[in-house]
Structure 1
């Protein structure tokens, strides 16, 4: 038996005589965990630390070998063990999990002008891209592996998951289901090996093992058998596929969503009381439903239910030109409902950027293209105060409409409050929060309400999540940059967007994006990743409106972003620079899929 593993088990075991058993036991640590009848929380602690130690051992081996084949072997072993650790680690310690699983990109954290952190990545993705490159940098491999090994050792010394309750365990299992569906099968954290499917099998097996530790909570015996069947079918489906041809649509529809339904049933059977609402609603039974994501979570406060009175009041304010000093501009000027709340212009009047859609904008952790606002309410105030937009202020507007008896009555009914600048801001924000319909052709099909998707549209989704690598930035179910399954961060990317729609000798657009907020040099040309829902109606595209058609957008990505069209002096471009080599039919399929994301309200219009 591995001595470090033995030491860990010695440290955590409290049963009388257990150490004597261990010394004489010839079974592996994994078998030991399964055989000994422990309290579920103790058994979970044992199992987790055994997996952590095994992962650390393989990473440690990477620091001691310079032979490329050995590096590849030990990396694959370490990564498999990391996927076993993933369900618990990602729930128990999100910061360390994010560090270990980070993309191989410079990490910039900008809290304010006095607190800007720039960190080089030292993660499993960093190792993968180095070890499996044409010319691995052995010294860099050793350095990165050393940092990962040190981090794992800290976790081994300080981790305690014995406090976990049954509701925590249910959250752990569900989080793994959501992660697998939204990032796990997309190659998000396996950019070179594309080992996502087998990674998912490993993580699913561990999630099932964790659930089994708590099987005494089941009051309805058939539910236990159902979980076993669902996991077995899902793992078989993952095993039978290969990354490029895997049917992700069928996987979500026939495996993930049914498991979410079973999860809700299990929570009721266990009679758990959830102390708070996570990003995924505790009653969510489908990933692509209006009920799946909690608006309260994204708002950071209680904003639901969004009553019809609140929505209609917010809509009236949204269209009220009195908000502007000139009395000629309203929110609807730049966000027209028939264009999915965009304006159809390359750049909005008086501004230097394209008008983004407001649909599904509630599901973000940052607003404006440069994320200079942290909330919908803050964005609204900024627009009203901006001299190039409304050139007004909420205080003046509040005084103006406080003379309108109909407004006074509507505020009293909707918010039980007098007219105030804060309640005006909240009402407009709540209206914007209502612009999430979840009734597109895509949504209705994947929820199994209708069956009208074409083979081209389904293939487009599978390409979006596979070969075309779109889903590594535009994450389901919103298809924006807010990263599941925690939805705590909305990513920004440097694509190398040109100033003109050309395919060679391009020049980068002069808009510096996020750089203008904190002047962080390596944040030049970074912009927030928007949702592609209703994208068929929101032309022109990109922050500067440079592309008029979806065909132009797809070709830009297919060529490798800015790098592929001649903008080769941008070292911080986050978009992979290699061409995607999409066929004409694959480009068509991608566009056909994106068109299925148009909500029924706009189709009817």
Structure 2
């Protein structure tokens, strides 16, 4: 069936669950409760509320602690409760979950110039960092703990249970991918780096959900296969954070679990009402079939004419007649052989470095400052820019209408023929086709070839672990769009200098700030993809770094802060990553393996 566009149709469904986790907080015995009630949804609600209550109680104890050791003990208990709740909480209440699990940086929400909200962070990451601050203040810990506790109380009071079979599948898929893409990277355990142990708690939750829905399984062998796979995954997660083989885990376990999930869909006879960011039949995180591209486009393209629109868009992309003086087309700045960049620090008369268009469709903001929300809007900006096409939408339509070949194409593919919206759509559909997922890395992690080197694997593991690259450049796209929901593309303040000359001088480009003049957004820029990075030099929004070695040196030394620049809101940790020369070499080797074939 054709799925409705999820961004328009998706409703956040409330569903609850039951688990047993590591901390002994008087959780009701799972098997006893289900025997008494014989209603899975009743069990879900009862134990979910119990776990919420346990988390609240541990936070309440933490709030009133008078010494560090006791505070850390209660934080650990509350954190275990929270991570055990995560699979369901993150699914049914995404906004509250993201707030409770947010990084310890200022949250800026900019809907438009009249609706800008600046929010101080709270939640478990903030508590964790406060407990490990050199200037530890238990009063400060108590304040953020109270806010966190009160938010959980609000969630507890408003808990309701609504869960259908396809919700369960989505929930399982979200958590499986969340663990692989953010969990095991240390994204939400920045100090303790306890992510592997917490993933075990997540898996215990998933196992108990599958047990709860055991009557849905026609094949008990499939259920037993799930149990075995989860146990093996938990055993593998017993490793050290810095040496953990994330490549092997994703290739041999995450992908296997996604395949089991597809078997479960068939076994349960599940029908989905629509698709979210991930395709409902995805079995790999790194495949051309991973994403539902229409989720990012705000509408659904007909598959029968998608390729034809793309071919038309490619012709328009390369047509210089679309610019006023007929000397420039899209390909002037976005050259295919350079992964759709231009190889320049910045194109003449342009303020910033030209970004790649590969994988550009898999994000929620366009341009380095995120001033447009989709590709069609980005094209408007290019057409109107006096230093680019220097035209307007009306003239654009007239040029295309004057060509009978174009007119025939548009009349066949679009109900209203040639107009500026359809011209922009055709070009955008072409750009949305530039997500190949066929690099050396993709082919190897999908077991299509066996050519990846030990250095490249080690580089991926470092990228996803010790180096913390993947806490901003999220796999599988390796950009700033946050999985597994992919509804938000992040902006970061790295402290990029104006030039490589020392002493360093702050770059004058204020980035995101200039969109809405929000002071807290000065020098923030969208996190781009590192896919095809081997072809897209020079790097950063101002093209300051000529090669990947210079780029890695900047990150390894703490960004702008490491250069002696002061930024109140720098999001890149100022401490050195302590990567040695071999580790940097391996990370670069991995990034080069992301070059599309």
Q: TM-score normalized by structure 1?
A: 0.93
Q: Distance in 1 between matches of 2:269 and 2:219?
A: 12
Q: Does structure 1 conserve the Cα–Cα contact (< 8 Å) formed by 2:210 and 2:223?
A: no
Question: For the residues of structure 2 that align with 1:350 and 1:297, how far apart are their CA atoms?
Answer: 34
Cα distance change of structure 1 residues 135 and 343 upon mapping to structure 2, 3 Å threshold: same
1:561 and 2:540 aligned:
no
Deviation per CA, 1:272-303: give whole Å up to 9, x if none.
11111111110101111011111011111102
* 1:589 counterpart (578, 586, 590): 586
SS in 1 for 2:182: helix
3-state SS of paired residue (1:202): helix
Query: Distance between the aligned counterparts of 1:168 and 1:242, measured in 2?
Result: 33
Q: Could you tell me which residue of structure 2 aligns to residue 128 of structure 1?
A: 128
- 2:442 corresponds in structure 1 to 443
Per-residue deviation at 1:400?
2.0
Q: Is the 8 A contact 1:345 1:545 kept in 2?
A: yes
CA distance in 1, matches of 2:126, 2:346: 38
Counterpart-to-counterpart distance in 2, 1:458 and 1:501:
31
Alpha-carbon separation, structure 1, partners of 2:39 and 2:185: 37
Match of 2:20 in 1: none
| Native 8 Å contact 1:367 1:375 kept in 2 | yes
- 1:598 equivalent to 2:595? Answer yes
How many residue pairs get aligned? The number is: 573
Q: Which residue of 1 aligns with 2:217?
A: 218
* Aligned residue in 1 for 2:538: 540
Write the mapping of 1:165-564 to structure 2, written as runs, cut at 5 A.
Answer: 165-239=164-238, 241-303=239-301, 305=303, 307-502=306-501, 504-564=502-562
DSSP 3-state at the match of 2:185:
coil
- Is this contact kept in 2: 1:313–1:414, CA < 8 A? no
CA contact (8 A) 2:103 2:188 kept: yes
* Offset of residue 265 of structure 1: 1.0
For the 8 Å contact 1:201–1:238, the answer to whether it is kept is yes
Alpha-carbon distance, 1:403 to partner: 2.2
Would the aligned equivalents of 1:445 and 1:451 in 2 still touch at CA under 8 Å?
A: yes
- CA shift at 1:565, angstroms? 1.0
Deviation at 1:402, TM superposition (A): 1.2
C-alpha separation between the residues in 2 aligned to 1:297 and 1:418? 25
Once the two structures are TM-superposed, the CA of residue 416 in structure 1 deviates from its matched residue by 4.9
**Root-mean-square deviation (Å):** 1.5
Aligned to 1:307, the other structure's residue is in SS state helix
Distance 2:587 2:36 in 1: 51
Assess if the C-alpha contact under 8 Å between 1:442 and 1:597 holds in 2: yes
Is 1:100 the counterpart of 2:100? The answer is: yes
What's the CA shift for 1:517? 0.8
Q: 1:263, 1:468 → 2: CA distance?
A: 31
For 1:313 and 1:30, the matched residues in 2 are separated by 61
How far apart are 1:35 and its partner, in Å?
4.8
> In the alignment, which of 576, 580, 589 is matched to residue 579 of structure 1?
576
Task: Check the 8 A contact 2:322/2:399 in 1, yes or no.
Answer: no
* Bigger shift: residues 397-406 or 447-456: 397-406
On the 8 A contact 2:532/2:592 being kept in 1, the answer is yes
**Maintained 8 Å contact 2:491/2:524:** yes
Whose relative contact order is higher, 1 or 2, with alpha carbons under 8 Å and at least 6 apart? 2
Match of 2:11 in 1: none
Match of 1:603?
none
The whole-number CA distance in structure 2 between the counterparts of 1:224 and 1:478 is 31
Unaligned 5+ runs, structure 1: 1-11, 13-25, 601-605
Alignment of 1:30-179 (within 5 A): 30-31=29-30, 32-33=32-33, 35-161=35-161, 163-179=162-178
SS at match of 1:36: helix
Cα deviation code 1:464-487 (max 9, x no counterpart): 011111000000000000000111
Q: Which runs of 5+ in 2 are unaligned?
A: 1-14, 16-24
Deviation at 1:28, TM superposition (A): 4.7
Cα offsets for 1:111-149 (capped at 9, x unmatched): 111111001111100000010223311111000010011
SS class of match (1:541): coil
**Local SS of the residue matching 2:237:** helix
Q: 1:35, 1:81 → 2: CA distance?
A: 24
SS of the aligned residue for 1:109 comes to: strand
Of residues 387-396 and 464-473 in structure 1, the stretch that sits farther from structure 2 once superposed is 387-396
User: 1:365 offset after TM fit, Å?
Assistant: 0.6
Which residue matches 1:20?
none
Query: Structure 1 pair 488/28, CA: closer, same or farther in 2 (3 Å)?
Result: closer
- The CA distance in 2 between the partners of 1:36 and 1:197, in whole Å, is 34
Q: What is the rounded CA distance, in whole Å, between the counterparts of 1:425 and 1:97 in structure 2?
A: 36
The CA deviation string for residues 349-383 of structure 1, in whole angstroms up to 9 with x for no partner, is: 21110000000000001000000001110001111
1:185 partner SS:
helix
Q: Report deviation, 1:105.
A: 0.3
1:333–1:270 Cα change, 3 Å: same
**Would the aligned equivalents of 1:483 and 1:490 in 2 still touch at CA under 8 Å?**
yes
CA distance in 2, matches of 1:101, 1:30: 28
CA shift at 1:447, angstroms? 0.3
Deviation (angstroms), 1:248: 0.3
TM norm structure 2 = 0.94
Shift of 1:37: 4.1
What per-residue deviation string (whole Å, max 9, x for no partner) do you get for residues 244-288 of structure 1? 000000000000001001101101111111111111110101111
Q: Distance in 2 between matches of 1:447 and 1:166?
A: 28
Deviation for aligned residue 1:30: 3.8
CA distance in structure 2 between the aligned counterparts of 1:344 and 1:129, rounded to whole angstroms: 40
